[in-house]
């Protein structure tokens, strides 16, 4: 795959979710291409949680499969894609993608808007990322209320974002809220790209701690997050991790059996 070739078709099927078989350079090149072409696209940064939510909600599954790109945010998704033939796939983690695109944007003059996070988090995020990238242009921030916005409020926010003329709108609302927001605002938000990065706002602003790199590499980030926020997250991961593991193993065995069956049929045809 060339660096600009990430598309709706270049995906691996992860339990029904079309996840882009990419590395970080592919994701960056694709976003840059969309900006240069003036496209209107959104990116889902998806891990095990997102895949399992999609299995329970057909509308969320459709949102993911209609996205311009679905990056493999979790190591288990990377393993699954590699085992099913996409050997080149690497993790494209939300905070890392945001860091990388911020550096690229500072060099290329791409303007950013931060939508999401608790009150004050987006401003801390702006301070952190412009501190690392002094040329980075952050043209606006907004922390939406936890309650649903009225149509008038939503329209005012859309007008505010469009008036700022960002190239990238970073959305930090958590899954599945951020994916629904991006899909609902595709075409209304004039920025070429919306990217849902969830907890990246908290991690990069310093509001919450990230898991150590060794835990990230060994698919243990979920354990770090549960230990950090047990009351909020233990119910989620007590179901999600075992359920995904069981479903993934069954699917891998099914595909392996199907390949063996096809191979036997081919050999039988040759022998006759």
Q: Phi/psi at 227 (nearest 5 deg)?
A: -65, -30
pTM of the model: 0.88
pLDDT digits (tens, 9 = 90+) for 11-56: 999 999 999 999 999 999 999 999 999 999 999 999 999 999 999 9
| pLDDT at residue 45, rounded to an integer | 97
| pLDDT at residue 4, rounded to an integer | 41
Domain ranges of the chain: 11-235
| pLDDT at residue 69, rounded to an integer | 98
Mean pLDDT, consecutive 10-residue stretches, the chain (272 aa), reads 48 97 97 97 96 96 98 95 94 97 98 96 97 98 93 98 98 95 98 96 88 75 75 75 94 89 65 58
| pLDDT at residue 259, rounded to an integer | 79
């Amino acid at each position: 795959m060339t660096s600009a070739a990430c598309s709706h078709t270049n995906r691996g099927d992860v339990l029904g979710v079309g996840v882009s078989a990419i590395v970080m350079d592919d994701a960056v090149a694709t976003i840059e291409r969309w900006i240069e072409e003036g496209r209107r696209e959104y990116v889902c940064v998806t891990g095990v949680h997102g895949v399992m939510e999609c299995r329970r909600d057909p509308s969320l599954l459709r949102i993911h499969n209609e996205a311009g790109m679905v990056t493999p945010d979790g190591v288990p998704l990377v393993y699954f894609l590699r085992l099913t033939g996409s050997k080149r796939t690497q993790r494209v983690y939300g905070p890392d993608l945001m860091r990388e695109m911020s550096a690229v944007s500072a060099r290329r003059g791409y303007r950013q808007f931060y939508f999401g996070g608790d009150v004050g988090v987006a401003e801390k995020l702006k301070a952190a990322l412009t501190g690392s990238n002094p040329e980075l242009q952050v043209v606006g921030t907004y922390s939406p209320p936890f309650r649903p916005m009225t149509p008038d409020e939503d329209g005012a926010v859309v007008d505010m974002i469009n008036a700022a003329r960002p190239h990238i709108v970073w959305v930090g609302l958590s899954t599945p809220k951020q994916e629904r927001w991006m899909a609902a605002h595709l075409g209304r938000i004039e920025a070429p790209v919306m990217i849902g990065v969830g907890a990246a706002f908290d991690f990069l602003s310093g509001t919450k701690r990230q898991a150590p790199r060794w835990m990230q590499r060994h698919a243990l980030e979920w354990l770090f997050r549960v230990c950090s926020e047990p009351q909020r997250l233990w119910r989620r991961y007590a179901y999600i991790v075992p359920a995904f593991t069981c479903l993934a193993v069954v699917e891998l065995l099914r595909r392996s059996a199907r390949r063996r069956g096809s191979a036997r049929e081919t050999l039988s045809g040759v022998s006759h």
